[in-house]
Amino acid sequence: GLTIANEKQYLMVLGGPGAGKSTFLRKVGLEALRTFYYEGATYQPRVIPVLLELKRFEADDVDIGRFIAAEFETCGFPEPEAFMQNALEQGNLLVMLDGLDEVPSANLNNVLNTIRDFVDLYDANRFITSCRIAASGYRGSAFQRFSNVTMADFDDDQIQQFIGNWFSSEKD
CA distances to 95, 101, 115, 133 from 136, rounded to whole Å, are: 19, 7, 15, 5
Cα-based angle 146, 101, 106 (whole degrees, multiple of 5): 115
pLDDT, tens digit, for every residue of 147-168? 999 987 777 776 777 677 767 7
Instruction: Locate all alpha helices (DSSP H) within 78-122, ordered by sequence.
Output: 80-90, 108-121
β-pair partners for 98: 53
Residue 168 pLDDT: 73
pLDDT band for position 73 (cuts 50, 70, 90): very high
Residue 89 pLDDT: 97
pTM: 0.85
Q: Is 20 left (phi over 0), alpha (psi -120 to 50) or beta?
A: left
pLDDT, tens digit, for every residue of 6-29? 999 999 999 988 888 999 999 999
DSSP three-state, residue 6 = helix
pLDDT, tens digit, for every residue of 92-138? 999 999 999 888 888 888 888 899 999 999 999 999 999 988 765 55
Query: What's the gap between Cα 53 and its chain centre?
Result: 8
pLDDT band for position 38 (cuts 50, 70, 90): confident
Whether 110 and 62 have beta carbons less than 8 Å apart is answered as yes
β-pair partners for 132: 15
